[in-house]
Homo-oligomer: A and B are copies of this chain.
Amino acid sequence: MRRDIFQAIADPTRRAIIALIALQAMTPNAIAENFNSTRQAVSKHLRILTECKLVKQQQQGREIYYSLQIEKMKEIDKWLEQYRKIWETRFNQLDKVLSTIKKQKK
């Protein structure tokens, strides 16, 4: 069973859950109210998100509050970094070409 952050964010429902709990912790029931699927389906998603450390739980009586572990999101940012370098380089090259054309016009 693969269980990394990239597989976690592949599902649109899970991305929606992430967006929901990004700003404030929520209980499974409260989260599920925002979707058409059952609470159990949402619970399964939360399990997957918890397993890959994207989400943390906080018990409060019989309620469990789920919140986003924002630090984990940096992993995606880190992976993206190598490609950001590439597109910035390409942009600079294009910029160079454009300024050369501008100069020639003068």
A contact set with B: CB distance below 8 Å: 2, 4, 6-7, 9-10, 12, 15, 19, 22-23, 68, 70-71, 73-74, 76-77, 79-80, 82-84, 86-87, 90
Kindly report which residue of chain B lies nearest to residue A23, judged by CB atoms.
B86
Known: A70-B90, A77-B84. 16 other contacts (CB 8 A): A6-B9, A6-B12, A6-B15, A7-B10, A9-B10, A10-B10, A22-B83, A22-B86, A23-B86, A68-B83, A70-B83, A71-B87, A73-B80, A73-B87, A74-B87, A80-B80
Q: List 29 A-B contacts (CB under 8 A).
A: A2-B12, A4-B12, A6-B9, A6-B10, A6-B12, A6-B15, A7-B10, A9-B10, A10-B10, A15-B79, A19-B82, A22-B82, A22-B83, A22-B86, A23-B86, A68-B83, A70-B83, A70-B86, A70-B87, A70-B90, A71-B87, A73-B80, A73-B83, A73-B87, A74-B87, A76-B76, A76-B80, A77-B84, A80-B80
